[in-house]
Structure 1
Amino acid sequence: MTLYAPNISGSPRPVIRPLDEAAINRIAAGEVVERPASAVKELVENALDAGARRIAVDYAAGGKVLIRVTDDGCGMTAEDLPLAVARHATSKIDGSDLLNIRSFGFRGEALASLGAVGRLTLTSRVEGGDGAQITVAGGRLTGPRPAAAQKGTVIELRDLFYATPARLKFLRSDRAEAQAIAEVVRRLAMAEPSVGFTLSEVAEGEAPRVIFRADPQSGDFFDALHGRLTGVLGAEFTANALKIDIERDGLHLTGYAALPTYSRGSSVQQFVFVNGRPVLDRMLLGALRVAYFDFLSRDRHPAAVLNLICDPERVDVNVHPAKSEVRFREPEAARSLIITGLRTALSGAGHRASTTVADATLAAMRPEMPAFAPRVYQMDRSGQNWPSQASFARAATWQAPEVAGESHGFAEMPQARMEPAGQNPQVDDEAFPLGAAKAQLHGNYIVAQTARGMVIVDQHAAHERLVYERLKRQMAETGIKAQALLIPEIVELSATDASRLLEHAEALARLGLSIEPFGGSAVAVRETPAILGTVSAAALLRDVLDELADLGRSDSLQAKIEAILSRMACHGSVRSGRQLRPDEMNALLREMEATPHSGQCNHGRPTYVELQLHDIERLFGRR
């Protein structure tokens, strides 16, 4: 089948002609409005730019039939409304400086695009003025005309893509489109914690069903953001999140990042904003991943909500019509701030582990009860509900199993090493966060009593982390020793790869990898990191190149070195099964308290579980 036929001599010459305005608008709509969620994003951002304090979003059939956004912003006059739906007409910039953008919208394309592919109605009123309304259907404008309205604006979009029905075939199910709309509103709600949001689904003949609601938060920025994130992501996230507030070189990073032990199975709880604008930026998300790579296994993902604030002239948001991509003037400074800020916060958390670890432990301890049988303890029973004499008689026929050397039916507690009374004079150890060691179970688990409850420590995992952190400190102090190759290894690369690699030669040399040009597009490897032992220089360089191509920076060599240190720590740590004396157990607890990141092992698993006394008492029905 011929897909393309060149112009044959003698055939009519193609004629260049301008497209009509309707076609231009429909083409623009394809870039700006990809799906109903895109329309919601544009309309809600317009409401925020108008200074709205409350925004309501209604939709029907996943936004395909109806999208309505109501706000209490500054509103528009009857004269403003026709301009609002004209292409490249906006109140947010004057066109003289496209790098100094301080609003969500600025291109002046959204409303014109929506009016070109759907049936758009705008109703608005400014304070002290009269309400007005216009409609745009398939690019045709009607109005303005007088209308009853409150201060603010109501934008109603019906029959999205009716003018371009082919686009409807590419939309997903109503449920999938509704989920995408909800995700857009949730992200914008996190960006503006002082603004109230309501998202509702409407159906003919039924009352609106509220899908999401976020009331305006008061207080300072971090208090408001904490309250908003609790409502959007849940109290579990904020209970296990660290406050991020770091400023350097004119860049300011704020937000909350979760502890490593609160990791997720996917990246669904990673939200990045630039000057309050939700973005999906590969470089920023890559920096987030790098900040945690020393604490999480490859199949786990960190959770964080981060806002990078900078002078608008240092970041270009005019990269794509959807405005979800940005380009920094100094990308390395932005990336470095995220990595440094997060690692500083994680170090400050010390030995802290997430509360979800204890919650999972308590859930595992509770016996599963039938859904129809609530848990009832004997002390809760009234006199008339005591077991009958027949039930006592049946119980009396039960015989305890015979255990060698015993006749009372209780087996010896397996592998438990209890601390003799009076042998630990440091009773004040219970005031420490991880308490005083009381027992060692199964040769690996240290049980400690704290002032508030108890702690169970995995001695091997904990000591492995302590040794690993010690090795990293030594490496930072003494540097990475390089091992000179007797015969330099020559690696043939493409000219582009060789140039990209040599640009980073100085940084690689600090990690023990020494490279230099060897004529043409070849690179000579003269030294490799000694800690890696015998290594294929060609394979190592290709790993580095893959990461440079993906992220513009390579951390693979650093990761390989730290993976070696992690394995060394594993082999040099206290093994499972080793019996520890009370003073050794307490020394381990004290070192954990003093060592950053000791709440999780080198693979991201928790090193200890803390159970509060009131939770323990609930297990036994005392509360």
Structure 2
Amino acid sequence: MSIRRLPEHLVNRIAAGEVVERPASALKELVENAIDAGATRISIALSEGGLAAIEVIDDGCGMAPADIALALERHATSKLPDEAIEAVTTLGFRGEALPSIASVAELTIESRVRGADGWLRRVDHGAVAGEGPAALPPGTRIKVAQLFAKVPARRKFLRSARAEYAACVDAVKRLAMARPDIGFTLEHDGRRAFSVPPGEERAQRVAALTDRELAGNSVAVDYGREGISLTGVAGLPTFNRGVADHQYLFVNGRPVKDRLLIGAVRGAYQDMLARDRHPVVALFVELPGDLVDVNVHPAKTEVRFRDPGLIRGMIVGGLRAALDEAGHRSAHRASVASLGNWESGSSFAPPPSAPSWPSRSPGFAYPMPAGGGEGGQGSVWDSAPAFAPMPMGKAEPAEAAPPTPVHYPLGIARGQIAATYIVAETEDGLVIVDQHAAHERLVLERMKRAMAEGGARAQALLLPEVVELDEVACDRIEARVGELAEMGLELERFGPAAILVRATPALLGQGDVRGLVVDLADELAAYDQALSLKERLDHVAATMACHGSVRAGRTLSVVEMNALLREMEVTPHSGQCNHGRPTWIKLGHGEIEKLFGRK
């Protein structure tokens, strides 16, 4: 086949494939143009998540009729006054966005320069459909309708209106965080999603667009080195999320999703957060234009640094300095030599000589949520004969000598450290158990057993609790209300940005209802919509179990500690928590003697 020159309309469609992947891509380009035009207020209206229509109105400098026509030609831009593309400071500069969008949608541009009349130009999938005078205030109004309507191959790969709307909201939020001096308003199908006024403080803007509680649970970041500055807001390690969708990174005012920057954030928090938890941050890197290349991606979402190591070190150092000043320092780690003497428990089985289960004492008490022992959804005690009084191994006044830890793989509880760790004595050493991690695994196994037997029982709340979330998170939860009800969590929509909790799984009790719903919303954000929650049962149940477990910091009685140890001994996978960390570690007698120089 001979080489031929492609027709103009096909060239525009190819360019559109690079720049306009979905409604959020087109919206991002239009809002960036409004910002570059010097707007102080930008209003956005969406219909059906942007699939039916996108409208962006700004009060920027506007365009004359000749400029409107030129803006719809490929590689025409006002943002490159010379050929120094590496010195570009505006958000957009390729000159492909408008003609690319116009080639795959119905595009209408209305614009007016101050002191002149307004003008309108309409393009239908690459063909000019009309133009003429227009009445509007100074600025520009652009409307995009029926995106990919005449390109069915692209249209069928778009997701649902709800999913596309979520992507649009994320794109606008990132741009609004980058420019707190500009006011943004976003409406969807006639309902206002959010509105932020111009001239806000950066921390105030970030909190308004992420989580209002962030303002009181974050530290300011202000760090500089070698002409590079790092500013922004960093959430405290305890203020974390289940997924990394609340990490906002900006380079010279440009929102980016760069693996180097994301890795640096993870490195800064690595010894302060569990592996499955993620911090909430909004970081702004400012550096000379010749140290970064912003022209490496058609949508300009990725950048390339001349010295990646310096930038990564800046982020790690800046975040750690900010967190240290707030008093939230990294936990001290044990020496490598000491850790080598400890054995991590993963699985075990009771020895053949383990005694049969004796009769249960009327005075036995176990820290189980209300209703947790009914309907086959309780602890292991429901599937085995009841117990006799647990041996009392704690240093307490007693007439008889403490019992010997015979036949119990995890030993007899001797005490509790920091209201977090259970210390138990075994026949051949010492065992330390993380009470929260261990009970979290036990609750998860109970939930999985309950689901296999037909569903988890729900426990109604005396007073339904309202949990405020952003509209997109509420949409995700609303779409899964039926599946969550099968797991014992009864929810309903309560206005645009709130969820009403009527009942929680009986296995969990009430607990931290808000934290549970927020984490579930984060989990749902990471799922493919085609997957049911039953296909992701382990992840959803693990999230629920975490909020229904004995928390670190709770003082347990000796009976409660021993009951936890006994249930661990007969529960599958109790050697590791739901996040893969060990629930107990063991130090043998020989290793203890080595530590004291006896061997």
TM above 0.5: yes
Counterpart in the other structure of 2:88: 101
CA gap of 1:190–1:124, structure 2 versus 1, over 3 A, is same
Partners of 1:47 and 1:73 within 8 A in 2 = yes
- The one-letter amino acid paired with 2:277 is R
Q: Write out the 4+ residue segments of structure 1 that deviate beyond 3 Å after TM superposition.
A: 442-446, 457-461
* Secondary structure, aligned partner of 2:312: helix
Partners of 2:395 and 2:34 lie apart in 1 by 64
- The one-letter amino acid paired with 1:41 is K
* Secondary structure, aligned partner of 1:236: helix
Partners of 2:174 and 2:248 within 8 A in 1 = yes
Partners of 2:415 and 2:422 within 8 A in 1 = no
Among candidates 271, 278, 288, match of residue 311 of structure 1 = 288
In the TM superposition, what is the alpha-carbon distance from 1:350 to its structure 2 partner?
A: 1.4
Residues 1:172 and 2:154 aligned together: no
Counterpart in the other structure of 1:91: 78
Among candidates 100, 105, 122, match of residue 113 of structure 1 = 100
Partners of 1:114 and 1:120 within 8 A in 2 = yes
Counterpart in the other structure of 1:350: 327
Partners of 1:215 and 1:322 lie apart in 2 by 27
* Secondary structure, aligned partner of 2:324: helix
* Secondary structure, aligned partner of 1:271: strand
* Secondary structure, aligned partner of 2:56: strand
* Secondary structure, aligned partner of 1:38: helix
* Secondary structure, aligned partner of 1:333: helix
Partners of 1:352 and 1:288 lie apart in 2 by 15
Structure 2 matches for 1:135-214, cutoff 5 A? 135-202=122-189, 208-214=190-196
Partners of 1:82 and 1:144 within 8 A in 2 = no
Counterpart in the other structure of 1:505: none
- The one-letter amino acid paired with 2:282 is V
Counterpart in the other structure of 1:372: none
In the TM superposition, what is the alpha-carbon distance from 1:577 to its structure 2 partner?
A: 9.8
* Secondary structure, aligned partner of 1:185: helix
Partners of 1:62 and 1:175 within 8 A in 2 = yes
* Identical counterparts, % of pairs: 49
- The one-letter amino acid paired with 2:291 is R
Residues 1:231 and 2:208 aligned together: yes
* Secondary structure, aligned partner of 2:230: strand
Q: Deviations over 1:147-179 (max 9, x none)?
A: 111110000011111232211000000111111
CA gap of 1:416–1:226, structure 2 versus 1, over 3 A, is farther
- The one-letter amino acid paired with 1:49 is D
Q: Deviations over 1:543-589 (max 9, x none)?
A: xxxxxxxxxxxxxxxxxxxxxxxxxxxxxxxxx999xxxxxxxxxxx
Structure 2 matches for 1:373-388, cutoff 5 A? none
In the TM superposition, what is the alpha-carbon distance from 1:84 to its structure 2 partner?
A: 0.9
Q: Deviations over 1:93-142 (max 9, x none)?
A: 13511111100000000000011000100000011111001011121124
In the TM superposition, what is the alpha-carbon distance from 1:235 to its structure 2 partner?
A: 2.3
- The one-letter amino acid paired with 2:57 is T
Among candidates 57, 69, 76, match of residue 63 of structure 2 = 76
* Secondary structure, aligned partner of 1:237: helix
Structure 2 matches for 1:45-64, cutoff 5 A? 45-64=32-51
Counterpart in the other structure of 1:265: 242
Larger Rg: 1
In the TM superposition, what is the alpha-carbon distance from 1:217 to its structure 2 partner?
A: 3.2
In the TM superposition, what is the alpha-carbon distance from 1:144 to its structure 2 partner?
A: 4.1
In the TM superposition, what is the alpha-carbon distance from 1:65 to its structure 2 partner?
A: 1.2
Partners of 2:264 and 2:316 within 8 A in 1 = yes
Q: What runs of 5+ residues in structure 2 fail to find an aligned partner?
A: 331-369, 372-393, 397-413, 424-431, 433-554, 558-580, 582-599
CA gap of 1:416–1:99, structure 2 versus 1, over 3 A, is farther
Structure 2 matches for 1:603-618, cutoff 5 A? none
- The one-letter amino acid paired with 1:299 is D
* Secondary structure, aligned partner of 1:336: helix
Counterpart in the other structure of 1:42: 29
Q: What runs of 5+ residues in structure 1 fail to find an aligned partner?
A: 1-13, 203-207, 219-223, 354-366, 369-414, 418-441, 447-456, 465-575, 579-602, 604-623
Structure 2 matches for 1:303-342, cutoff 5 A? 303-342=280-319
Partners of 1:77 and 1:125 within 8 A in 2 = yes
Residues 1:217 and 2:194 aligned together: no
Q: Deviations over 1:477-524 (max 9, x none)?
A: xxxxxxxxxxxxxxxxxxxxxxxxxxxxxxxxxxxxxxxxxxxxxxxx
Partners of 2:323 and 2:329 within 8 A in 1 = no
* Secondary structure, aligned partner of 1:273: strand
Partners of 1:443 and 1:577 within 8 A in 2 = no
Q: Deviations over 1:203-258 (max 9, x none)?
A: xxxxx11112222234xxxxx11211221112211211110000101110000111
Partners of 1:444 and 1:338 lie apart in 2 by 39
* Secondary structure, aligned partner of 2:128: strand
After the TM superposition, which of the residue ranges 268-277 and 208-217 deviates more from structure 2? Answer: 208-217
Please report the RMSD computed on the Cα atoms of aligned residues, expressed in angstroms.
Answer: 3.2
- The one-letter amino acid paired with 2:227 is G
* Secondary structure, aligned partner of 1:105: coil
Structure 2 matches for 1:16-31, cutoff 5 A? 16-31=3-18
- The one-letter amino acid paired with 1:214 is V
Partners of 1:445 and 1:336 lie apart in 2 by 37
Partners of 2:109 and 2:143 within 8 A in 1 = yes
Partners of 2:177 and 2:202 within 8 A in 1 = yes
In the TM superposition, what is the alpha-carbon distance from 1:351 to its structure 2 partner?
A: 4.6
Alignment length (residue pairs): 358
Counterpart in the other structure of 1:364: none
CA gap of 1:460–1:253, structure 2 versus 1, over 3 A, is farther
In the TM superposition, what is the alpha-carbon distance from 1:444 to its structure 2 partner?
A: 4.8
Task: Answer 1 or 2: which has greater helix percent.
Answer: 1
Counterpart in the other structure of 1:242: 219
Partners of 1:217 and 1:228 within 8 A in 2 = no
Partners of 1:416 and 1:83 lie apart in 2 by 85
Structure 2 matches for 1:497-576, cutoff 5 A? none
Partners of 1:81 and 1:144 within 8 A in 2 = no
What is the TM-score when the length of structure 2 is the normalising length?
Answer: 0.56
Structure 2 matches for 1:572-611, cutoff 5 A? none
- The one-letter amino acid paired with 2:241 is R
Partners of 1:135 and 1:142 within 8 A in 2 = yes
- The one-letter amino acid paired with 2:88 is I
Counterpart in the other structure of 1:407: none
CA gap of 1:285–1:352, structure 2 versus 1, over 3 A, is closer
Partners of 1:62 and 1:95 lie apart in 2 by 38
Partners of 2:132 and 2:87 lie apart in 1 by 36
* Secondary structure, aligned partner of 1:287: helix
CA gap of 1:282–1:303, structure 2 versus 1, over 3 A, is same
